[in-house]
Amino acid sequence: MKRTNTGYISSIITGILILCAFSCKTKPVFLLSEDKEWAASALQTAEQYRFLAKETPAGRFPKTFENGKLITSSSDWWCSGFYPGTLLCLYKASGEKFFLQEAEKKLAVLEKEKNNKTTHDLGFMMFCSFGNAYKITRQSQYAAVIDTSSQSLISRFSPVTGTIRSWDPAPWNSKWKYPVIIDNMMNLEMLLWAADHFKNQEFRAVALKHAETTLKNHFRSDFSSYHVVSYDPETGRVEMKNTDQGYADESAWARGQSWGLYGYTVMYRFTKKPEFLKQAQGIADFILNNPNLPADKIPYWDFNDPAIPGAKRDASAGAVMASALLELKNYVPKSKSETYAKAAEIMLKTLSSPQYLARNGENGGFILRHGVGNMPDKTEVDVPLSYGDYYYVEALLRYLGKSLD
């Protein structure tokens, strides 16, 4: 028998409370206050992923839904880990085995990428998937995948530049000798977690050096960042600074700012180094105090697009920002914490409104509408994106007191 929405929402709320009571033995059980029921209600979009699971071919991973068609990828695409990662988040929220079982099917396909040394995105691919799988199930084989993936990732590190290389030479990126993108900050969490779990200080050293070099070279005085910084691989000197997926080289591409915010928040979590907390706060304040940030807190795809207020919004950037702020609020003084918490709540409430949150059976099975992938290349513009869904669900869980960290 099909459950009503009310019954479904109640089961979600009950599942969250039970899971919190079970897993947080030394912490107070999170009690869902009445004014947070909208967030638990939003998690009924789990039904969307039931539909998406049926539509996604075996061996493929959903990327987006465009012009009435589901677009998928193979396991080596940088977004491949987000779909199983979202399924695992939904399993943690609801306790429903369907989501775990669907995630396990995709993990079996994805596992071979642990040996992929041609990409800097193994954190996205393997930690959002296998990392979450280990946290939820504590099965040692999932941790072993993270160990191998981390070994593959550090193979791209250069002690000359002090960074993990992003893109390898290819016709489409031939203008850069050794490009490093701000997105790379998101792949360091896997290394830091693996360093702690496996007592491997090489993983930690690489992550620290990359974060320190990026802090030095990627950011402007106002804490906004470039997208791409390229180095001379022979000398380590910076050769070029660009914003390839933003409006212009000197503009603030919204998703790039969100990657930096999230990345330095994670760096502080693992290291407690004050320079990383200062950087995370600086980025947060740049975003939240920006005159081009709309009142509903979902950013335009680039803060400097001259088409504002007619420019496209980027729901994926808003989801990443919300999730990052909900962690960052735990590390700052009370007044700043309240500011970050309130901003994240506004972001999540906006994303949970009919403007962004798709109803069951719509949006190709994806959860959020209005993401922007690569505006300059006119690809994945104003469409759902798998990473937007992932960070939205992660943020909801954090908001409800059930962090995946």
- Residue-wise pLDDT tens digits, 211-226: 999 999 999 999 999 9
Residue 122: exposed, middle, or buried by beta-carbon count in 10 A (0-12, 13-18, 19+)?
buried
- For 240-260, write each residue's pLDDT tens digit: 999 999 999 999 999 999 999
What pLDDT does residue 252 have? 98
Residue 112 buriedness (CB in 10 A; 0-12 / 13-18 / 19+): exposed
CATH code for the part of the protein at 5-399: 1.50.10.10
Q: Is 183 annotated as a binding residue?
A: yes
156 marked as part of a ligand binding site: no
Count the neighbouring beta carbons within 10 Å of the beta carbon of residue 176.
Answer: 20
255 labeled binding residue: yes
Q: Residue 74: is its pLDDT beyond 50?
A: yes
Instruction: Scan for tokens 């798709």, then name that residue.
Output: 358
The residue annotated as part of the active site, out of 121, 305, 314, 389, is 121
Does residue 24 register a pLDDT over 90? no
Residue of 279, 298, 289, 299 lying closest to 220 (CA atoms): 279
Spot the catalytic one: 35, 147, 183, 249: 183
Average pLDDT over residues 190-206: 98
121 is in an annotated binding site: yes
Annotated catalytic residue 183: yes
The three-point CA angle 135-356-42 to 5° equals 50
Closest CA to 258 of 329, 312, 322, 349: 322
For the segment 289-300, what is each residue's pLDDT rounded down to a tens digit? Answer: 999 999 999 999
pTM over 0.85: yes
Is 77 known to sit in a ligand binding site? no
27 pLDDT above the threshold of 60: no
Q: How confident is the model at residue 402 (pLDDT cuts 50, 70, 90)?
A: confident
User: What pLDDT shows up at residue 360?
Assistant: 85
